[in-house]
């Protein structure tokens, strides 16, 4: 969801998850030489130490003891009055009143939209009403029990992120009616069946020696299953008909769980997902565009699928691994190269901006309040750097006062805002006053990233302040990025990595995901900011494990942001017909150049840039694409012909982005920035920060 908007040695960590009530992460422990690996520990925090949120319990289609899966690709199965379709990808799946339906979405692009909505091509019916209840999940798999009115489990659906396979295990003897006739097919083993659906082969495969041909009855549209039988459906890929038999052999061994690992090094981070099957064999999975930097020996030349994210290659593998360029956390830009005149100019602007900040009361909600704290932490850095000691001291006092207020553990017992509570139903930390649906789980990493950033900047210079605010700041970090599930007395834990989709390498913003197109994320740059803030906080606290984890998240999210939001491959056949250079709102079922708050092209790019910090250089690297994105956002081919072209929503953010074109463009941007109207300076920034950033790039 979004809002209307006024280098050194490698660190090795491993994330192990299973379909249970807990997730585990392996974290680094300092050793005499290098880094040793040990089982991860949940962060030492107690969410129940916060006052209970005054919110009603949320009905959940979830097994008892499981952490409520907000901000997941499958959240729509758990929350809301009715379950929503979900997209394991490349397939989609939706629950029905008496069963389920899956299919391969038809992907097409037109105008500013890439479409790939739910395709209920093969429907399986249990002949009586059932309710889908998520009974287990991990970083890449989900189990959904189909529960009858007598609370008996008819069977369990098994969905695997990044796999074209849907599996089902019978919980008791029953018949499963299909809307498509499956029968023996040439070129396939005799014990499997196939159907032609929408011009593509769908194969039905049994596990543990189950002969699907024998159990099919009534003309091939009814499966007679015994308790414990597992069947799987595989959708054939494009160009994969010749190897379909090989894929079928892998499908016989269904995926039951996933294990995730990552390493961080000076130049790159590596993510790996191991798909654990019942028999220990390989799985049929896909490699998405962001996973092109392979770090494994998987066989991935077995066909392709079109997905809204781009063309995905089919693999048979037990583990998929991929790399992303390593990103180091950073706050202020480097001002050491500024000439004296520009330093004096920025210093004068800093003085004016500090005066303006001190004259205002910072907002009381978690989004704008957090932005204001981060904005003024940056302003404080500039004041210190430029020798404005009095202004820096005064602003620092104001910042610390507000941060202390926000981080009083029992603050919400005495006031309705500028404090945090614990939602016992969602098992989540919720700021008061909430904003943009944060009380439903929306956007927590966006909001809390600003608090983590400000706390990290201040605590780096004042460890005692870090000690003081840590009880609550650590809770904010744990809420969005706990390395392991956090036990909470009296109920389910906080989940590990609440918002981060490991397979897709990016976060999800909606808490309940009440949408037919799956979950979504708009401001990829605020997600990057969250992990930048997490890393700054970890560094300030000397928490090596969290620092390594945060650098992995930062690097992975930055790479995914470019792969799907700002720098996607415009030559991929999937986007043929797309007339947009950025897709600012990414879902599992579609991508679009759109925002929740404005139809302006400048908004679509600006929301992928803010907030600008020292780490924002990740958005550069492809100057041609930066220029194309700006041309689209501004509606002009000559960026500097008319300064008025920048008098648009997020004009300051676009100028900051333009500086990534090189020193000459940064100098031109600096000239425009001096006269940019005040209303075009985002409330999370200042004119002095804009000038300093542009000056550092010129």
Could you tell me if residue 371 is inside a domain?
no
Could you tell me if residue 212 is inside a domain?
yes
Q: Which helix (H) or strand (E) holds 654?
A: helix 651-658
Report the domain count for the chain.
1
Return the sign of the alpha-carbon dihedral for residues 22, 316, 246, 92. positive
CATH number of residue 120's parent domain: 2.70.98.30
Cα 533 → chain centroid: 16
Enter the tokens of residue 141. Answer: 């798999």
pLDDT score at 218: 67
Cα 250 → chain centroid: 29
Could you tell me if residue 83 is inside a domain?
yes
Enter the tokens of residue 155. Answer: 């069977």
Could you tell me if residue 531 is inside a domain?
no
Beta strand residue intervals within 130-265, DSSP E: 131-137, 141-147, 153-160, 165-170, 174-178, 193-197, 200-206, 216-217, 222-225, 230-235, 255-264
pLDDT score at 55: 87
Could you tell me if residue 94 is inside a domain?
yes
**Greatest C-alpha distance within the chain:** 86
Enter the tokens of residue 590. Answer: 């579609």
How many residues in total does the chain contain? 698
Tell me how far apart the alpha carbons of residues 434 and 424 are, in angstroms, rounded to a whole number. Answer: 16
pLDDT score at 241: 82
Q: Which helix (H) or strand (E) holds 92?
A: strand 92-96
| Contact (Cβ atoms closer than 8 angstroms) between residue 1 and residue 596 | yes
Task: Residue 106: name the closest of 97, 115, 94 by CA.
Answer: 115
Could you tell me if residue 119 is inside a domain?
yes
- 3-state class (DSSP) for residue 38: strand
Enter the tokens of residue 630. Answer: 């700006």
Strand order from edge to edge, sheet including 304-307: 283-287, 310-317, 304-307
Distance between terminal CA atoms of the chain? Answer: 35
DSSP 505-549: TEE---SS---TT--EE--HHHHHHHHHHHHHHHHHHT-HHHHHH
Apex 37 CA angle, 36 and 39, nearest 5? 145
- 3-state class (DSSP) for residue 54: coil
pLDDT score at 27: 31
Enter the tokens of residue 160. Answer: 């695997």
Cα 138 → chain centroid: 15
Could you tell me if residue 163 is inside a domain?
yes
H helix and E strand count, the chain: 14, 31
Task: Residue 616: name the closest of 603, 626, 624 by CA.
Answer: 626
Tell me how far apart the alpha carbons of residues 592 and 584 are, in angstroms, rounded to a whole number. Answer: 6
Tell me how far apart the alpha carbons of residues 603 and 633 are, in angstroms, rounded to a whole number. Answer: 8
Domain of residue 87: give its range.
Answer: 75-236
Walking along the chain (698 residues) 10 residues at a time, the average pLDDT comes out as 36 36 30 31 91 92 97 98 98 98 98 98 97 97 95 96 98 96 92 95 96 83 95 95 92 96 94 96 98 94 97 97 98 93 98 98 98 98 97 98 98 97 97 96 98 98 98 98 93 96 98 98 98 98 96 98 98 98 98 97 98 97 97 98 98 98 98 98 98 97
Apex 555 CA angle, 161 and 567, nearest 5? 80
Q: Which helix (H) or strand (E) holds 248?
A: helix 244-251
Could you tell me if residue 261 is inside a domain?
no
Q: Which helix (H) or strand (E) holds 285?
A: strand 283-287
Phi/psi-derived region of residue 71, left when phi > 0, alpha when psi is between -120 and 50, beta in every other case: left
Q: Which residue has the tokens 């003891």?
A: 65
As beta bridge partners, residue 260 has 15, 273
Beta strand residue intervals within 570-690, DSSP E: 585-587, 590-592
Q: Please state, as a whole number, how many other Cβ atoms lie within 10 Å of the Cβ of residue 297.
A: 9
């Amino acid at each position: 969801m979004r809002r209307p908007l006024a280098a050194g040695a490698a660190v090795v960590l491993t994330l192990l998850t299973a379909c249970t009530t807990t997730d585990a992460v392996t974290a680094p422990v300092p050793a005499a030489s290098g880094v040793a690996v040990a089982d991860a520990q949940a962060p030492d925090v107690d969410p129940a130490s916060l006052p209970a949120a005054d919110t009603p319990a949320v009905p959940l289609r979830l097994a008892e003891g499981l952490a409520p899966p907000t901000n997941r690709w499958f959240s729509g199965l758990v929350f809301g009055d009715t379950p929503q379709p979900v997209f394991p990808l490349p397939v989609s799946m939706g629950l029905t009143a008496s069963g389920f339906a899956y299919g391969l979405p038809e992907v097409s692009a037109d105008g500013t939209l890439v479409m790939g909505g739910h395709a209920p091509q093969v429907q399986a019916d249990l002949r009586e009403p059932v309710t889908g209840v998520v009974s287990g999940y991990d970083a890449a798999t989900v189990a959904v029990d189909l529960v009858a009115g007598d609370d008996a489990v008819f069977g369990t659906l098994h969905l695997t992120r990044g796999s074209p396979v849907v599996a089902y295990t019978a919980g008791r003897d029953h018949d499963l009616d299909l809307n498509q006739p499956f029968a023996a097919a040439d070129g396939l083993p005799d014990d499997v069946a196939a159907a032609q659906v929408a011009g593509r082969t769908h194969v039905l495969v049994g596990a543990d020696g189950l002969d699907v041909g024998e159990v099919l009855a009534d003309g091939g549209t009814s499966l007679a299953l015994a308790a414990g039988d597992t069947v799987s459906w595989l959708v054939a890929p494009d160009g994969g008909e010749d190897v379909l038999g090989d894929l079928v052999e892998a499908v016989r061994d269904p995926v039951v769980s996933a294990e995730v690992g990552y390493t961080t090094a000076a130049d790159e981070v590596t993510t790996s997902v191991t798909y654990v099957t019942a028999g220990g064999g390989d799985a049929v999975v896909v490699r998405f565009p962001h996973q092109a930097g392979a770090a494994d020996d998987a066989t991935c030349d077995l066909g392709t699928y079109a997905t809204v994210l781009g063309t995905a290659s089919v693999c048979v593998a037990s583990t998929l691994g991929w790399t992303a360029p390593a990103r180091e956390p950073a706050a202020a830009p480097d001002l050491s190269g500024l000439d004296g005149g520009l330093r004096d100019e920025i210093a004068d602007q800093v003085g004016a901006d500090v005066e303006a900040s001190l004259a205002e009361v910072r907002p009381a909600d978690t989004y704008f309040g957090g932005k204001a704290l981060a904005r003024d932490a940056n302003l404080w850095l500039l004041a210190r750097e430029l020798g404005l000691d009095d202004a820096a001291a005064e602003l620092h006092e104001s910042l610390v006062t507000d941060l202390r207020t926000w981080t009083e553990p029992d603050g919400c017992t005495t006031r309705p805002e500028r404090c945090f509570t614990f939602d016992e139903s969602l098992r989540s930390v919720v700021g008061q006053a909430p904003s943009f649906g944060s009380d439903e789980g929306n956007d927590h990493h966006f909001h809390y990233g600003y608090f983590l950033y400000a706390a990290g900047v201040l605590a780096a210079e004042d460890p005692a302040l870090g000690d003081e605010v840590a009880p609550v700041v650590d809770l904010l970090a744990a809420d969005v990025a706990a390395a392991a599930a956090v036990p909470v007395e009296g109920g389910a834990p906080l989940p590990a990595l609440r918002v981060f989709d490991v397979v897709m390498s990016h976060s999800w913003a909606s808490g309940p995901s009440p949408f037919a197109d799956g979950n979504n994320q708009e401001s990829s740059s605020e997600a990057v900011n969250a992990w930048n803030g997490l890393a700054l906080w970890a560094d300030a606290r000397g928490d090596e494990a969290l620092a390594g984890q945060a650098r992995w998240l930062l690097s992975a999210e930055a790479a995914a942001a470019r792969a799907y939001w700002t720098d996607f491959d415009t030559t991929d056949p999937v986007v043929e017909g797309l007339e947009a250079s950025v897709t600012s709102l990414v879902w599992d079922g579609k991508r679009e150049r759109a925002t929740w708050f404005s139809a302006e092209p400048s908004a679509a790019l600006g929301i992928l840039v803010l907030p600008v910090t020292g780490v924002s250089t990740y958005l550069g690297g492809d100057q041609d694409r930066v220029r194309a994105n700006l041309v689209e956002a501004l509606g002009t081919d000559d960026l500097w012909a008319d300064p008025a072209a920048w008098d648009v929503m997020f004009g300051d953010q676009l100028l900051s982005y333009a500086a990534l074109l090189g020193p000459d463009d940064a100098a031109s941007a600096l000239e425009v920035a001096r006269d940019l109207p005040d209303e075009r300076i985002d409330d999370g920034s200042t004119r002095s920060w804009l000038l300093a950033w542009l000056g550092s790039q010129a």
